Amino acid sequence: MENENITAVAEGKPSGYKVTKKDLRNANWRWLMSVCTFNYQTQQGASVAYALSPVLRKIYTNDEDYKQALNNHFRYYNTQPWLAAIILGACVAMEERDGLAAADAVQDLKIGTMGPLAGVGDSLLMTMIPTIMGSIAAYMAIEGNPVGAGIWFALILAIFWVRMHALEFGYKQGVKLVTDFSEKLPNLTAASVLGLTVVGCLIASVIGVTCPISFSFGDVAMEIQPLLDKILPAMIPAAITGSAYYLLTKKNASMTALILVVIVLAMVASAAGILA
């Protein structure tokens, strides 16, 4: 029986450990404390791995399985940090049940939801609520009403409470995800594709690089950029992004070095009048 358990763990199956509230709160606290661990290559990926490492160690008692689970969470991730804990809790629930067999579904869930969470979280939690409540509290304070300060303090406490229990909430909903909706988990791939599509759209809308070169033939002037747009809109931004992705994934280029190269090439090309 002991050998069978060791074999099961070595194959990427969970150890059977039942995640506790203490594990979830510890992971939540580690996430809150480490979310500033940001890098250009994986952005919040290192923070995710750090936050979940203790609970993953309990789920995967086999060293190789544990390393593989950590590497899966070390991958690129970036969203509104207050809401991200909900998704991380759901990931814990999925891995607790299915082990490494859920690795792709976990990644698809993270990719498919990080865009919507960022949009909702940034606009609602970071802009709308603080602006409205802050304006009310400030006006009351100017009028000499101490209730304004109390409202602002109560809002801070409410947000902090939500942040401290977000991962636990996500775990509970994640249990429902892998039990009640287990047959629909493959559909998360569609969410992943949607998330990647949104990222692809950002290339054309965020990277504003054009070619200002034009040629004159007698009385006829021809500009390069309109021709490129007819072939493929945002061709230059797409080419720059594709080249950067190739260097990062195929040539193992350093993200920091790549950023410096892009800055230098942008300055040179702009000075030469090649790009604008």
One domain, residues 257 and 182: no
pLDDT at 7: 39
User: What are the DSSP calls for 183-245, one per residue?
Assistant: GGGGGHHHHHHHHHHHHHHHHHHH-------EEEETTEEEEHHHHHHHHSTTHHHHHHHHHHH
- Residue 237's domain comprises 207-271
pLDDT of residue 54: 92
**d(Cα 52, Cα 103) in Å, to the nearest integer?**
14
Q: What angle do CA 103, 105, 106 make, to 5 degrees?
A: 65
What are the distances in angstroms from CA 274 to CA 214, 266, 270? 10, 9, 6
Q: What is the rounded distance in angstroms from the CA atom of residue 143 to the CA atom of residue 139?
A: 6
Q: Do both 70 and 181 map to the same domain?
A: yes
Whether residue 71 lies inside any domain: the answer is: yes
Residue 202 within any structural domain of the chain: no
pLDDT at 2: 37
- 211 and 183 housed in the same domain: no
Pairwise CA distance, residues 256 & 238, whole Å: 20
**Predicted pLDDT of residue 183:** 54
Residues 128 and 240 reside in one and the same domain: no
Nearest to 119 by CA among 236, 17, 198: 198
The pLDDT of residue 147 is: 82
C-alpha to C-alpha distances, 113 to 80, 192, 194, 234, 239, nearest whole angstrom: 10, 8, 9, 26, 27
Same domain, 134 and 266: no
Residue 60 — φ and ψ, nearest 5°? -115, 100
For the chain, how long is the longest CA-to-CA vector? 88
Q: CA angle 78-23-26, nearest 5°?
A: 60
| 168 and 265 assigned to the same domain | no
Among residues 191, 218, 244, the one where a domain terminates is 191
Question: End of a domain among 137, 166, 191?
Answer: 191
**196 in any annotated domain:** no
Is 17 part of any domain?
Answer: yes
Return the pLDDT at 6. Answer: 39
pLDDT value for 186 = 53
User: With a cut of 50, which residues of the chain have pLDDT below it?
Assistant: 1-10, 178, 182, 185, 188-189
> pLDDT tens, 187-213?
544 555 555 666 667 777 778 888 888
In a domain, 200, yes or no: no
Q: State how far Cα 45 lies from the chain centre.
A: 8
What letters, b where the CB count within 10 A reaches 16 and e where it falls short, cover 119-137? eebeeebeeeebeebeeeb
Per the listing, tokens 């996500």 go with: 170
Residues 148 and 73 occupy one common structural domain: yes
156, 234: one domain: no
Contact 97, 182 (CB under 8 A): no
Residue 52, domain member (yes or no): yes
**Is the domain of 95 the same as that of 17?**
yes
The answer as to whether 31 is a domain residue is yes
Residue 239 is predicted with a pLDDT of: 87
Domain shared by 142 and 221, yes or no: no
- Number of structural domains found in the chain: 2
- Residues 54, 98, single domain; the answer is yes
Q: Which of 158, 191, 224 is the last residue of a domain?
A: 191
* 230 and 182 inside one domain: no
Q: Is residue 126 domain-resident?
A: yes
